[in-house]
Each structure stands twice: as C-alpha cells, then as structure tokens.
Amino acid sequence: MINFNYETDFLIPNEDSIAKWITNTIADEGFKLEEINYVFCDDEYLHKLNVEFLDHDTLTDVISFDYTVGKLIQGDIFISVERVRENALEFNTAFENELHRVMVHGVLHYCGYKDKTESDEQLMRTKEDYYLNQLG
C-alpha cells in the first residue's frame, strides 16, 4: 500500500497512477511492497527532521526512513516540495519530473541502491532515468 500525506499546500493530481508506477518499480527490482508513506512538506518541516534524526543542519529535498525486512519494502519518504521546485529550476527540468525523480530515489534506496560514491551515484541516476521513462 502506498499512502500520500500532505503537510503543506500541495497535492499530487494522479495518486493512483503514481502508486501503480512505484509498485511496478518495486516489483521490477525483485521486491514486494508492504507499505510506503510519502509525506510532502516544506523546507522547515524537512529541515527539522534532518537535524533531529540525521544530525544534518542542511536543507534537503528528500529523506527516507527504511523499515524494509528482507524483500518486503516498508518505509517513510519525506519530500520538501520547496526544495524540489528549487532543484527543478536549477537543473532546468519540469517540476513534475524532479518530483518523480525524488519519489523513485527513495524507493531505490529501499531496494539496496546507494549514492555515497561516484559510481554508486551514477548507477542510481541510471536507475532513476530508467524508471522515469517507465512512467511515460
């Protein structure tokens, strides 16, 4: 089950198709969906989580808390809509594209992908691009 929660004045217009896309992504990676909670928020909300839980005093676009057990995907993905808008401008891409990228980014972490090294980050970007193309 995928749940969409809103802590800011923002709504995803196509929740059902996005949920199906994420579910298919998880299945393509050889995992099974238990539950993912997406929480869309603002910079202040996400910054507070970043400081409190990760001891990072910086703004970020996405934080994911992974509760996956074996091949059963579970987690909470917090997304700053403000950061996503800023990043879309910075990277000269559509807001929706950047939003979908961070949504699948969190899921890919649950599937075991990392982004701490240059080679890991390159693989993560390749996977993000692949699944963004699946969304159509």
Q: Please write the tens of the pLDDT for every residue from 10-53.
A: 999 899 999 999 999 999 999 999 999 999 999 999 999 988 88
* Residue-level pLDDT at 54: 81
Q: Going by DSSP bridges, is the β-strand pair 62-66/2-6 parallel, antiparallel, or unpaired?
A: unpaired
Which one is the CATH code of 2-135: 3.40.50.80, 3.90.550.10, 3.40.390.30, 3.10.129.10? 3.40.390.30
Mean pLDDT of the 65-87 span: 95
Residues in binding site for Zn(2+) = 105, 109, 115
What pLDDT was estimated at residue 56? 84
Q: Which residue positions form the known binding site?
A: 105, 109, 115
Quote the Cα angle for 48-53-57, to 5°.
50
The pTM of the full predicted model, rounded to 2 decimals, is 0.90
Return the pLDDT at 110.
Answer: 95
pLDDT score at 136 = 66
Residue 74 · residue 40 · CB < 8 Å? no
pLDDT over threshold 80, residue 95: yes
- Angle separating helix axes 95-110 and 118-135, nearest 10 degrees: 120
pLDDT band at 91 (very low <50, low <70, confident <90, very high): very high
**CA-based max dimension of the chain:** 37
Domain boundary assignment for the chain? 2-135
